[in-house]
Structure 1
């Protein structure tokens, strides 16, 4: 989701519209009819095509590609998991977000300092373990956004090792977590005991004649990708284009920006069909502006 919000913010900047949170294409309440690319393959042209070629050429052998294919690369938010129904009150939520936590138990200590990620194909990856002390330190040293109910504090009554599953580039993996039990809560708050190997997002590139898209679905034969093209309320979405290599696919959205001053600032996503010259297969779909990989729907779990 964070990657989609970044794409949306970039597109609004380029189109001159005010920023607004980007919706998840999988949760669109009403889907407009897709803009189709027609039966022919539309090969990329112009400045956006040159950018797409750069993105595709940089992918093989890059740290991101190595982590995507062989490492632990989450494709969902994997920073923390709150119990269902949290929080009991606004005061509790403010205390949690402000790091107003008191430790009333001993923290477990790892012997080896290593932890294991297990993938659905049976393969395993050993990574440095993130300590429970590190988790506690990050929780208690958050920024303090507390404006009301600032006197409330929460008590940590137990900390135990556990596991959870996370959608990754290699399927839904089982990862180790630390489970923090807070007084008054039946379910634990969980935090990953390993760090993602995905490289930090780099700067995005300003695009002159194209926009980044958000992959939504892949046809059964792998020849048609449907992706959301973000645009302003009065803009017109046109059929997009594709840049393909043996290792990667980059989609280029095309939008005609309206000059009317009577358009609202709402951000919209229109699904567009992009036809490939051959099935997608094991190739990776990369973002045009940021060059980062986009997960196929079956990986998001």
Structure 2
């Protein structure tokens, strides 16, 4: 009996590791029905680990923006050339940028909750979005002053300090949030072991939340030999754990392609202040590109 148990465990392990993506397989090369159960079990482990943890308490006290730190002029772009200049980060500075009046600024959620965070200088703020200076269409910054703006965070909308950059030919400024995000707490659970998570994939980032909070859109990955990504949500009162996988994976050799695609995930109720977690890594899902102008945390 002991030998039979060892053999069964070995077969299960081999099945989890077989094929492209680590899914269990049937004879036709498709993902086996056990994989969703494995993924759901992992999602529950992540939710349980975060519930009541020190990491969750740190997250609840922190400042984690969930929208772009660079905000376009309220008046909108004058034309396609200026829009293209913004998208390519092609800026020219024609003026002086002020010194930072203070080393810290306050994040205000408007309900009596405030948080003091380090303040980014105007020059550093400018360099965060002015990444190019090519011969193509460009926008000209003529100055800046410190003001405020509102931004969506993991705790709802907040009023934060922002650098208001004056643009040539524009009546309203380009805004850049001036306070830095809080440091991400150490997750209370580690990354799932490769091959033992039912074909789970990591979720690179959050790209948006619906106005009513009833859905989120995330970037998910897949390859050339499958039918695309699938993202499901396990909802609790404290968190929403997202499990990303792929459907219709083919058997055999496959090019090592990594394709990113937006996937909208519906929720049974608004996300609110529940933490959005990645089932594979056990970490919060960040907004935006970590190397871009609006990472959710430092």
TM (norm. structure 1) is 0.56
Q: 1:102 — aligned with what?
A: 94
Aligned to 2:136, which of 141, 149, 154?
Answer: 149
Deviation, structure 1 residue 106: 5.3
Equivalent residues of 1:162, 1:176 under 8 A apart:
yes
Point out where structure 1 has 5 or more consecutive residues left out of the alignment: 1-12, 16-43, 296-301
Q: Is the 8 A contact 1:48 1:210 kept in 2?
A: no
For 2:72, the equivalent position in structure 1 comes to 82
Task: Find 1:53's aligned residue among 27, 45, 51.
Answer: 45
Q: How far off its partner does 1:242 sit?
A: 4.2
Q: CA deviation at 1:268?
A: 7.0
1:68 is the counterpart of 2:54:
no
Correspondences of 1:270-285 after superposition (within 5 Å): 284-285=275-276
Compute the TM-score of the two structures, normalised by the length of structure 2.
Answer: 0.56
**Aligned match of 2:161 in 151, 173, 176?**
176
Alignment of 1:161-240 (within 5 A): 161-199=146-184, 208-210=198-200, 235=227
Higher RCO structure (Cα 8 Å, ≥6 apart): 1
**Displacement of 1:87 after TM fit?**
5.5
CA contact (8 A) 2:209 2:217 kept: yes
Structure 1 residues 55 and 109: alpha-carbon distance in aligned structure 2, compared to 1, 3 A threshold: same
How far 1:61 moved relative to its partner?
A: 1.8
> 111, 116, 123: which is aligned to 1:121?
111
CA distance in 2, matches of 1:91, 1:281: 35
Note closer, same or farther for the CA distance 1:235–1:273 as it changes in structure 2 (3 Å cut): farther
List alignment gaps of at least 5 residues for structure 2: 1-19, 23-35, 287-298
Q: 1:75 to 1:184 in 2, by over 3 A?
A: same
Q: Deviation of residue 118 (structure 1)?
A: 0.6
- Distance in 2 (alpha carbons) for counterparts of 1:177 and 1:227: 26
Q: How far has the Cα of 1:184 moved from its partner?
A: 1.6
1:293 aligns with 2:279: no
RMSD: 5.1
Secondary structure of the 2:41 match is: helix
Q: Secondary structure at the match of 1:164?
A: strand
Q: CA deviation at 1:51?
A: 6.6
Cα offset, 1:181, TM superposition: 0.5
Distance 1:243 1:67, change over 3 A: same
Mapped partners of 1:55, 1:48: distance in 2 = 10
For residue 45 of structure 2, give the secondary structure of its aligned residue in structure 1: helix
Shift of 1:136: 3.3
The separation in 2 between residues aligned to 1:85 and 1:117, in whole angstroms, is: 26
Size of the alignment, in residue pairs? Answer: 235
Residues 110-155 of structure 1, C-alpha deviation per residue, up to 9 Å, x if partnerless? Answer: 1x42211111322111122212232234455x255x3x537x6724
In 2, the alpha carbon distance for the partners of 1:194 and 1:294 equals 20
Q: Find the residue that maps to 1:68 and give its secondary structure.
A: helix
Residue 5 of structure 2 corresponds to which residue in structure 1? none
Deviation, 1:243, is 8.3
